[in-house]
Amino acid sequence: MARKLGGSQYQVVLLDKHNYHQFQPLLYQVATSGLEPSSILFPFRKIFQRYKNVHFRMAEVLHVDPTKKCIQTSKGDLTYDHLVIATGASNNFFGNAQIEKRSFPMKSLNESLLLRNSILERFEGALDKDTSSSDPLMTFVIVGGGPTGVELAGTLAEMKRFVLPKDYPELDFDHMKIVLVEGSDRVLSAMHPHSSERALHYLEKLDVEVRLSMRVKDFDGKLVYLSNDETIHSESLIWAAGIKGNFIDGIPEEARGPGNRLRVNAFNQVLGLDDVYAIGDVALMESDLKYPKGHPQMAQVAIQQGRNVAQNFKNRLTGKKLKGFHYRNFGSMATIGRNKAVVELPGRRFAGFFAWLVWMFVHLRSILGVRNKWIVFINWVWNYFTYNLSLRLIIKRKERG
Amino acid sequence: MARKLGGSQYQVVLLDKHNYHQFQPLLYQVATSGLEPSSILFPFRKIFQRYKNVHFRMAEVLHVDPTKKCIQTSKGDLTYDHLVIATGASNNFFGNAQIEKRSFPMKSLNESLLLRNSILERFEGALDKDTSSSDPLMTFVIVGGGPTGVELAGTLAEMKRFVLPKDYPELDFDHMKIVLVEGSDRVLSAMHPHSSERALHYLEKLDVEVRLSMRVKDFDGKLVYLSNDETIHSESLIWAAGIKGNFIDGIPEEARGPGNRLRVNAFNQVLGLDDVYAIGDVALMESDLKYPKGHPQMAQVAIQQGRNVAQNFKNRLTGKKLKGFHYRNFGSMATIGRNKAVVELPGRRFAGFFAWLVWMFVHLRSILGVRNKWIVFINWVWNYFTYNLSLRLIIKRKERG
């Protein structure tokens, strides 16, 4: 939205606690040592160098006062004429503090790097143990059969087959287990049942143990407790099971809808507030006829909403009519290890190698920055032919006190 | 040394607290957003995948007992037949706790990333200040006129000219100041005076303020105190002034030489100990005729010593004579911003654009891994033509408690 308003007559101030945009769909590849963080990050200042009317401030938003039209941030207060909330979503642990404390989510760069370090440390640790005590270190339980969970499971399975045995010849990789736990009766439940079936088939061929209609109840760091009272010995629970909107303090409670999302009308205006908009994962629009319970929380919806709200702001200046939002579904896709993907385009559905090429093309296209596209492309090609990228780094950081 | 013993009849165990090798000469480019960390790191396990006799363990060495031939590590105890200490060097603050606490050194990846974050945060912070209070945020004092200090000063000066004004159009970069403080009467004092003169000339053309025969006495976070009682208003003191050897607990005190280095004989055997060797920055060899006070602490010496000790181990097996170490100086070089470098080869000395090409070639050659070489090369070419790499990322990390 800020880009689309670049060069317009509006003064745009973009606030973020980070100085970079992160391309979330590939965070799982950072977590599995397939990409370096910088390849999927892009500094905001570089995006907006060419627009004089867009200003970036690295600051955390602490509070909004909609009556005074004022935002409190970590760098001071700011008044606004129009406020657009695009705070996205973060992990939803459904109230389970044990899981929140001990599991590995993957919604931010920091979380993905923690997971990367942890996966590698498990194998470093397993080296000094006998088999019975190393098995829980080599067992990974992934919760959530959406694209993130499926793609991560596939990549871990590839690492088990092609990469890790070369790094750890002393370990027996027959003991490495990847379990994918999904609450509904199929993986990729937002896609067509045929795609779910293909994905399940690919996962099983990769030796991933898929547990459908199953939930994870608890995790104590050693044992994963399933809803049928079974337990799995594992020290790694990876959480890709649910998200909730990032609510901002000061927004009236009546605007809060299911999933912590902000109820908006067809123009993305937040319920009961003037000049406050919400777009993307944090917004809940129930007026779009095909999506009465709100849109799926994915990048395509967010991008289209940002564009539409920006266009409406431009229309105001020229006196043109404002346009209510309707989501155009251009398709969805997921990849499962090398060579395999499922793709659904409007009126077309396919799976396999060609789908995988389409998946790569679409994701490369979406990454910000020409250099980043090239680096990601080189990494993918390199990895495809060598099965052996040099990114298995345990980088621990210590910030200053 | 471990690589050279790869495939031999020895069982080699390599211990390191990190799981990667870091290419130190380019850490300053990580600190100035010119390279991503992964480009100059390489995982040990990948290096040694092809050698069955080399084993890597990620562990910190806590203590050595040379009489029992036993090492205590964070992952348990280990006995050895031969111990080789290659612990390198870390920052020497010469006892000044204030400087140690508040300055930014650049000897490790973590330190370089802290500096990268900090440089960018200074400018983010300067945005909200008036000129008088933003100047200390835009003033960088670098202590130490060796290759690290000179290369960093040159790169910062390039950023001031070409990169930062585009990111921060609201700031006045006439107020950005780069001061290089060197204790001796010339920069690059290990090189020929002609090279020092060229380097000084290049730095001054880049608007770096070079203060020779000057030391930094203290730093309180706001003011830098110089040895002539002058002060500089700066919040960023970058420390490239001195190093000391990383001594291991349990090594007898009589082996400790000047600069915390381990005294070794011509075969790199540590004084007074059987079967304990020291190589690289941590070793102090006074028997090499041309270097009676020990060799310069640089990669070339370390690499040649590692090779020589490895060859001597091989010679023992075949009954060949052991060879004392003599350093062969193949030259030294430093770069000062884009297009400029000084190079000294045996019998040849040159400076300027061609020297800069040589500098790049030699450093590319030394980086581990073909993929890393390519990525660094792409970054350099990209930066050369665009002046605008997308790596100005403030990535803060939080490890788990």
B236-257: per-residue pLDDT in tens? 999 999 899 999 999 999 999 9
- Using the beta-carbon criterion (under 8 Å), do A394 and B20 form an inter-chain contact? yes
Report the share of chain B in percent with pLDDT over 90.
Answer: 88
The kind and range of the H/E element at B209 are strand B209-211
Using CA atoms of B329, B330, B336, B342 in order, give the dihedral in degrees to the nearest 10. Answer: 100
Instruction: Report whether A356 contacts A339 (CB < 8 A).
Output: yes
Residue of A395, A396, A400 to mutate, interface with B, max B Cβ within 10 Å:
A395
- Using the beta-carbon criterion (under 8 Å), do B75 and A394 form an inter-chain contact? no
Instruction: Report whether A5 contacts A313 (CB < 8 A).
Output: yes
Instruction: Report whether A356 contacts A131 (CB < 8 A).
Output: no
Q: Which residues on B lie below 8 Å from A368 (Cβ)?
A: 390
Per-residue model confidence (pLDDT) at position A55: 96
Using CA atoms of B7, B13, B16, B21 in order, give the dihedral in degrees to the nearest 10. Answer: 0
Smallest Cβ–Cβ distance between A392 and the set B43, B109, B378 belongs to B43
CATH class of the region B2-91+243-318: alpha beta
Which string of b and e fits B330-340 if b means at least 16 CB within 10 Å?
Answer: eebbbbbbbeb
Strands B139-143 and B177-181: parallel
**Amino acid letter, residue B88:** G
Instruction: Say yes or no: domain A97-242 is CATH 3.50.50.100.
Output: yes
Instruction: Report whether A294 contacts A279 (CB < 8 A).
Output: no
First to last CA, chain B: 36
Residues of chain A with pLDDT under 50: none
The kind and range of the H/E element at B377 are helix B370-386
Of B187-201, B358-372, B386-400, the least confident: B386-400
Task: Give just the sign of the alpha carbon dihedral A164, A166, A171, A176.
Answer: positive
- Which 364-383 residues of chain A touch chain B by CB within 8 A? 368-369, 371-372, 374-375, 378-379, 382
Beta bridge mates, A55: A13
- Which 148-207 residues of chain B touch chain A by CB within 8 A? 166-170
**Cβ of residue B50 closer than 8 Å to a chain A Cβ:** no
**Amino acid letter, residue A365:** R
Per-residue model confidence (pLDDT) at position B401: 65
Instruction: Report whether A77 contacts A69 (CB < 8 A).
Output: no
Cα(A327)–Cα(A348) distance, rounded to whole angstroms?
18
**Cβ of residue B286 closer than 8 Å to a chain A Cβ:** no
Instruction: Report whether B63 contacts B78 (CB < 8 A).
Output: no
Write the DSSP symbol of residue A269: B
Residue B59 corresponds to which tokens in the numbers above?
Answer: 């562990």
First to last CA, chain A: 36
Smallest Cβ–Cβ distance between B38 and the set A55, A388, A393 belongs to A393
In chain A, which residue's Cα lies nearest the Cα of B36?
A38
Cα(B159)–Cα(B265) distance, rounded to whole angstroms?
45
The CATH number of B97-241 is: 3.50.50.100
Beta bridge mates, B278: B85
Cα(B192)–Cα(A42) distance, rounded to whole angstroms?
42
- Which 95-124 residues of chain A touch chain B by CB within 8 A? 109-110, 113-114, 120, 124
Smallest Cβ–Cβ distance between B395 and the set A109, A375, A393 belongs to A109
**Amino acid letter, residue B343:** V
Longest dimension (CA), chain A: 74
Instruction: Report whether B143 contacts B149 (CB < 8 A).
Output: yes
Residue A373 corresponds to which tokens in the numbers above?
Answer: 């596209």
Per-residue model confidence (pLDDT) at position A397: 86
Cα(B50)–Cα(B359) distance, rounded to whole angstroms?
31
pLDDT digits (tens, 9 = 90+) for A153-175: 999 999 999 999 999 999 999 99
- Using the beta-carbon criterion (under 8 Å), do A167 and B369 form an inter-chain contact? no
Give residues with Cβ within 8 angstroms of A296, minimum separation 6: A190
Cα(A232)–Cα(B177) distance, rounded to whole angstroms?
59
| Three-state secondary structure string covering B93-113 | CCCCHHHHHHCEECCCHHHHH
Per-residue model confidence (pLDDT) at position A157: 96
| Mean predicted confidence (pLDDT) in B318-342 | 94
Q: Which residues on B lie below 8 Å from A124 (Cβ)?
A: 19, 57-58
How is A371-394 classified by DSSP, letter by letter?
A: HHHHHHHHHHHHHHHHS--S----
Residue A186 corresponds to which tokens in the numbers above?
Answer: 């199929």
Of A173-182, A308-317, B1-10, B330-339, the least confident: B330-339
Cα(B4)–Cα(B1) distance, rounded to whole angstroms?
5
Residue B351 corresponds to which tokens in the numbers above?
Answer: 């400076």
Smallest Cβ–Cβ distance between B390 and the set A42, A110, A170 belongs to A42
Cα(A69)–Cα(A82) distance, rounded to whole angstroms?
8
Helix, strand or coil for residue A119? Answer: helix
Smallest Cβ–Cβ distance between B46 and the set A57, A124, A390 belongs to A390
Instruction: Report whether A38 contacts B30 (CB < 8 A).
Output: no
Cα(A72)–Cα(A63) distance, rounded to whole angstroms?
5
pLDDT digits (tens, 9 = 90+) for A30-72: 999 999 999 999 999 999 999 999 999 999 999 999 999 999 9
Q: Which residues on A lie below 8 Å from B397 (Cβ)?
A: 110, 113, 397, 399
Q: Nearest Cα to A381, choosing from B376, B38, B375?
A: B375
Cα(A39)–Cα(B385) distance, rounded to whole angstroms?
19
Q: Which residues on B lie below 8 Å from A40 (Cβ)?
A: none
Per-residue model confidence (pLDDT) at position B23: 92
Q: Which residues on A lie below 8 Å from B18 (Cβ)?
A: 394
Instruction: Report whether A213 contacts A183 (CB < 8 A).
Output: yes
- Using the beta-carbon criterion (under 8 Å), do A127 and B57 form an inter-chain contact? yes
Task: Give yes or no for residue B79 having a pLDDT over 90.
Answer: yes
Q: Which residues on B lie below 8 Å from A41 (Cβ)?
A: 393, 395
- Which 326-345 residues of chain B touch chain A by CB within 8 A? none
Strands B223-226 and B231-233: antiparallel
A347 to chain B, closest Cα gap in Å: 38
Smallest Cβ–Cβ distance between B167 and the set A45, A57, A398 belongs to A45
Smallest Cβ–Cβ distance between A371 and the set B369, B390, B395 belongs to B390
Strands B89-91 and B283-285: unpaired
Smallest Cβ–Cβ distance between A43 and the set B372, B382, B392 belongs to B392
Smallest Cβ–Cβ distance between A398 and the set B20, B110, B170 belongs to B110
- Using the beta-carbon criterion (under 8 Å), do B392 and A46 form an inter-chain contact? yes
**Cβ of residue B400 closer than 8 Å to a chain A Cβ:** yes
Residue ranges covered by each domain of chain B: 2-91+243-318, 97-241
**Cβ of residue B130 closer than 8 Å to a chain A Cβ:** no
B2-91+243-318 and B97-241: identical CATH topology: yes
- Using the beta-carbon criterion (under 8 Å), do A391 and B38 form an inter-chain contact? yes
Instruction: Report whether B204 contacts B210 (CB < 8 A).
Output: yes
Instruction: Say yes or no: domain A12-91+244-318 is CATH 3.50.50.60.
Output: yes
In chain A, which residue's Cα lies nearest the Cα of B59?
A124
Residue of A16, A19, A56 to mutate, interface with B, max B Cβ within 10 Å:
A19
B251 to chain A, closest Cα gap in Å: 27
Report the share of chain B in percent with pLDDT over 70.
Answer: 100
